């Protein structure tokens, strides 16, 4: 595995290849990231993983500083997976140039996480736009775990006619139902149990409201979630996952989107 910290050396190297399969991450690698990398390795292009904890997408400095980092362990995992390239840029390498394309931010960026994390998606799209310009990947692998992010990146790529194709990857969960997330390393056993119970509650709820939407009583659901151990619920909303129209009545194709806190740890999921 070749490791790059500088975009020019990276670009020189990848210009020799037929194309790149790109897996962007913020490190703290887990089975979710690994599934994206394994999927990428199945195609004929070389796999490039990036690790960059992007400060511009954190709305609180403290959250950026406390975001779990595990570079040594990450390197081991990536080498074992026989990843071709690892790009670990500095802040200056990413933000020290003016990109050709302007970021397109779809209006859906104002909903869900966009409402509660001011500037978050501006930061995500800004960094993704820069990565796309530096790497010009054939494919970019993104997880459904961050569905809103995935949708907004898709809209940006379409609008700006960028040639990279998104490969959508399913959410990987622990046996207890909890979606893998770098932030889970901050949870203790009891808090993981809470997250697991919340997952199963929402999983069953979805089945029930598919049959009878009148059972979607938001106040009652929020009360139940608090009883299960959620300390604060930022949002709990149903959206059609194709067009991101809000679901208000009987429907088959929707996910429950949630962001909630266990103590001060914010978790998101869509089920
Ligand atoms: P992150 O490092 O959290 O920015 O995530 C990097 C990529 O991994 C994003 O495309 C995420 O959607 C994806 N990802 C994160 N967690 C999971 C998961 N549990 N299953 C599948 N993909 C995931």
pLDDT tens-digit series, residues 178-222: 999 999 999 999 999 999 999 999 999 999 999 999 999 999 999
Residues paired with residue 258 on neighbouring β-strands, in sequence order: 236, 269
Q: pLDDT tens for residues 34-53?
A: 999 999 999 999 999 999 99
Q: pLDDT tens for residues 123-153?
A: 999 999 999 999 999 999 999 999 999 999 9
Q: pLDDT tens for residues 52-106?
A: 999 999 999 999 999 999 999 999 999 999 999 999 999 999 999 999 999 999 9
Is 33 among the catalytic positions?
A: yes
233-246 core/surface letters (b: 16 or more CB in 10 A; e: else): bbebbbbebeebee
Interaxial angle between packed helices 218-228 and 189-211, expressed in degrees from 0 to 180 and rounded to the nearest 10: 160
The structure's pTM equals: 0.97
Kindly give the pairing relationship between strand 232-239 and strand 265-270.
Answer: unpaired
Distance CA 255, CA 203 (A): 10
Q: 């808090």: which residue's tokens?
A: 191
Which listed residue (8, 30, 33, 120) is catalytic?
Answer: 33
Where are the CATH 3.40.50.620 domain residues in the chain? 2-169
Distance CA 71, CA 181 (A): 16
Please state the atom number of ligand 1 nearest to the C-alpha of residue 28: 2
Distance CA 51, CA 78 (A): 11
Distance CA 250, CA 252 (A): 7
By alpha-carbon position, which residue is closest to atom 18 of ligand 1?
A: 32
The pLDDT-based confidence of 271 (bands split at 50, 70, 90) is very high
Q: What's the CA angle centered on 120, arms 115 and 125, to 5 degrees?
A: 120
Residue 251, pLDDT > 90, answer no
By alpha-carbon position, which residue is closest to atom 17 of ligand 1?
A: 32
Where are the CATH 3.30.1300.10 domain residues in the chain? 182-270
Per-residue CA distances from 198 to 71, 92, 116 (Å): 31, 40, 20
The pLDDT-based confidence of 249 (bands split at 50, 70, 90) is confident
What distance in angstroms lies between residue 140's CA and the mean position of ligand 1's atoms? 12
Please give the average per-residue pLDDT across 158-181, as a whole number: 98
* Superfamily (CATH H level) for 2-169: HUPs (3.40.50.620)
What distance in angstroms lies between residue 268's CA and the mean position of ligand 1's atoms? 11
CATH of domain 182-270: 3.30.1300.10
What distance in angstroms lies between residue 160's CA and the mean position of ligand 1's atoms? 24
Q: Which two tokens stand for residue 80?
A: 């074992």
Q: Which two tokens stand for residue 175?
A: 């046996």
- Protein residues with CB under 6 Å of any ligand 1 atom: 25-26, 32-33, 35-36, 142-143, 145-146, 169, 171-172, 179-182
Residues paired with residue 85 on neighbouring β-strands, in sequence order: 2, 48
Residue 188 sits at φ, ψ, to 5 deg, of -90, 175
pLDDT at position 234: 98
Residue 119, pLDDT > 90, answer yes
What distance in angstroms lies between residue 209's CA and the mean position of ligand 1's atoms? 27
Q: Residue length, the chain?
A: 271
By alpha-carbon position, which residue is closest to atom 6 of ligand 1?
A: 25
Distance CA 156, CA 162 (A): 8
């Amino acid at each position: 595995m070749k490791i790059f910290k500088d975009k020019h050396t990276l670009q020189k190297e990848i210009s020799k290849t037929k194309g790149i399969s790109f897996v962007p991450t913020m490190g703290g690698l887990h089975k979710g990231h690994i599934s994206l990398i394994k999927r990428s390795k199945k195609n004929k292009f070389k796999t490039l993983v990036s690790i960059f904890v992007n400060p511009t997408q954190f709305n609180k400095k403290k959250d950026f500083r406390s975001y779990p980092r595990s570079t040594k362990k990450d390197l081991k995992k990536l080498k074992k997976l026989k990843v071709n390239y690892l790009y670990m840029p500095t802040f200056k390498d990413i933000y020290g140039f003016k990109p050709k394309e302007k970021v397109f931010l779809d209006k859906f960026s104002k909903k869900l996480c966009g409402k509660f994390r001011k500037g978050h998606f501006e930061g995500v799209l800004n960094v993704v736009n820069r990565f796309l310009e530096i790497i010009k990947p054939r494919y970019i692998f993104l997880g459904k775990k961050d569905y809103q992010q995935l949708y907004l990146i898709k809209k940006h790529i379409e609008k700006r006619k960028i040639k990279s194709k998104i490969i959508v990857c399913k959410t990987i969960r622990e046996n207890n139902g909890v979606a893998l997330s770098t932030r889970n390393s901050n949870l203790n056993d009891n808090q993981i149990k809470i997250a697991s119970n919340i997952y199963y509650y929402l999983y069953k709820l979805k089945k029930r409201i598919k049959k009878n939407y009148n059972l979607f009583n938001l106040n009652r659901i929020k009360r139940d979630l608090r009883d299960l151990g959620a300390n604060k619920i930022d949002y709990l909303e149903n959206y059609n996952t194709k067009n991101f129209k809000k679901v208000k009545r009987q429907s088959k194709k929707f996910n429950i989107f949630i962001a909630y806190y266990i103590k001060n740890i914010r978790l998101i999921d869509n089920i």
